[in-house]
Amino acid sequence: MAESLNIPQNATKEDVYKGIIPQIKSLIEGEENLISNLANVSAVLDMAFKHLWTGFYLMDGNILVLGPFQGPIACTRIPVRPIARGVCGVAAESGETQLVPDVDKFSGHIACASDSRSEIVVPLVGSDGATKLVLDIDSLQLNCFDKIDQKYCEKIVQIIKKQHF
């Protein structure tokens, strides 16, 4: 069992991701419980980047339900069908990563945390084509997330997919 996390100091964002990816793999490898693994992944990302909110929503029928997270309290349920709501709902419905530089300019944004300024949401789509969960990260800063975040957050979601779906 891991007791500490090695986060590269004074490194680029990409180097931090490169440093934590093997640690995430090690943390979840062999652990069968999805919730435990999502909790640890949330903790790693929070420790590495200290964003406003980092966590997961899991699909339950036509609704995303709050899963493990780090940060302030959050929306518990987010509709996906018949009408997708918010960045998470759109990501879940489309099956595509949503990179939002300014949440106030995203039509239908749900302000679970009024301090949120930018967001990235990465869906995990199962082999059946259905979204199983989304990784959601919110920042206090505008334009916080970019293609580097997208690349590595998508890799993290694939690690989870390989372990559980």
Q: What confidence tens digit (pLDDT) does each residue in 125-164 have?
A: 999 999 999 999 999 999 999 999 999 999 999 999 999 9
Q: Looking at 4-8, 18-22, 110-114, 118-122, which range is the least confident one?
A: 110-114
Tens digit of pLDDT for each residue in 40-88?
Answer: 999 999 999 999 999 999 999 999 999 999 999 999 999 999 888 899 9
Query: What does DSSP assign to residue 57?
Result: E
* In the chain, domain spans: 13-164
Query: According to the model, what pLDDT value does residue 2 have?
Result: 58
Which CATH code for domain 13-164? 3.30.450.40
Structure tokens at 54: 């980092």
The CA-atom distances, in angstroms, between 48 and each of 20, 93, 137 are 8, 29, 13
Q: How many CB atoms lie under 10 A from the CB of residue 51?
A: 22
Query: According to the model, what pLDDT value does residue 3 have?
Result: 67
Tens digit of pLDDT for each residue in 6-39?
Answer: 887 889 999 999 999 999 999 999 899 999 999 9
Apex 111 CA angle, 157 and 42, nearest 5: 30
Backbone angles phi, psi at 7, to 5 degrees: -105, 120
